[in-house]
């Protein structure tokens, strides 16, 4: 009931009927339920991956997705692309382990991942400073690049990172050479194994050298133990190989 005197007086006038626009033809674009299902369907559809390196990905969330029936999570990085933040996998047995990001940055530890770090980890949410890496050098041109995107990336290359159960694998093609790096920890032994396989695709003989680098931390904070750590430099033992078709691992 309306008891307001102004509404009962002669000055009160009936409100004109509201003008409504004619109803638009039906479209699924205006249906929130169908929009939600369309989004889920698009996310479940296989996404594209760099040609020749990775299969189509399932449930992709750019730049990653599942492959091999869910047995691997694959990150496919196109030239210049990075993950929104650090995407990390942990590989370990009860006594020894390491963590590694999709760009290849990581650290290694024994028993306790914080107190007994062998190589340092910055634990920064944006930057990826790594204390260990594998480098390649073309002995003819002097060019140097890393087997993983970090720390020395080839800006023209596409990279594939595969995180599986108990291993991480990095693949890319750079300067006419296919690189395939697999890193894992045995079930019992306290050791990190890195297996690098090179294949020459350039159609000519190549002379390459491989160098493994580690910055020792030997504790939770490198600065706290640096005064008590005295690393010794030894003569490099990296091998170089000449090949016309394929470079032996």
The pLDDT-based confidence of 182 (bands split at 50, 70, 90) is: very high
**Mean pLDDT score, 136-164:** 94
> What pLDDT score does 68 carry?
84
> What pLDDT score does 174 carry?
95
| H/E segment holding residue 222 | helix 222-225
Question: Of 90, 46, 40, which is closest to residue 64 (Cα–Cα)?
Answer: 46
- The answer to whether 173 and 202 are in contact (CB under 8 A) is no
pTM comes to 0.70
User: What is the domain partition of the chain in residue ranges?
Assistant: 29-230
For residue 32, which phi and psi values (nearest 5 degrees)?
A: -65, -30
> What pLDDT score does 121 carry?
86
- The answer to whether 195 and 186 are in contact (CB under 8 A) is no
> What pLDDT score does 36 carry?
55
- Least trusted range by pLDDT, from 29-38, 214-223, 236-245: 236-245
> What pLDDT score does 126 carry?
65
Domain 29-230 matching CATH 2.70.98.40: the answer reads yes
| H/E segment holding residue 38 | helix 32-44
CA gap 162, 56 in Å, rounded: 13
The answer, yes or no, to whether residue 52 has pLDDT greater than 50, is: no
CA gap 168, 162 in Å, rounded: 6
The answer, yes or no, to whether residue 38 has pLDDT greater than 50, is: yes
- Strand order from edge to edge, sheet including 206-214: 144-146, 132-138, 206-214, 240-243
**Mean pLDDT score, 166-193:** 95
- The answer to whether 93 and 188 are in contact (CB under 8 A) is yes
3 state DSSP class of 7: helix
> What pLDDT score does 55 carry?
58
């Amino acid at each position: 009931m309306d008891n307001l005197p102004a509404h009962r007086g002669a000055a009160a006038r009936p409100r004109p009927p509201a003008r409504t626009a004619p109803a638009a033809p039906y479209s699924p674009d205006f249906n929130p339920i169908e929009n939600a299902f369309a989004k889920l369907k698009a996310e479940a559809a296989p996404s594209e991956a760099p040609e020749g390196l990775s299969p189509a990905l399932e449930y992709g969330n750019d730049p990653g997705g599942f492959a091999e029936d869910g047995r691997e999570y694959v990150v496919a990085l196109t030239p210049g692309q990075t993950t929104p933040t650090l995407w990390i996998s942990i590989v370990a047995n009860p006594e020894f382990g390491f963590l590694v990001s999709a760009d290849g940055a990581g650290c290694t530890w024994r028993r306790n991942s914080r107190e007994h770090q062998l190589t340092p980890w910055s634990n920064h949410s944006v930057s990826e400073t790594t204390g260990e890496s594998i480098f390649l050098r073309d002995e003819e041109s002097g060019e140097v690049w890393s087997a993983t995107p970090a720390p020395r990336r080839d800006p023209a290359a596409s990279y594939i990172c595969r995180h599986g159960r108990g291993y991480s694998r990095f693949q890319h093609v750079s300067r006419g050479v296919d690189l395939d790096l697999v890193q894992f920890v045995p079930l019992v032994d306290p050791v990190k194994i890195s297996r690098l396989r090179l294949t020459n695709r350039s159609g000519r003989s190549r002379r390459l050298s491989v160098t493994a680098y580690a910055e020792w931390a030997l504790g939770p904070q490198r600065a706290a133990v640096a005064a008590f750590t005295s690393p010794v430099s030894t003569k490099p033992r990296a091998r170089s190989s000449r090949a016309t078709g394929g470079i032996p691992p």
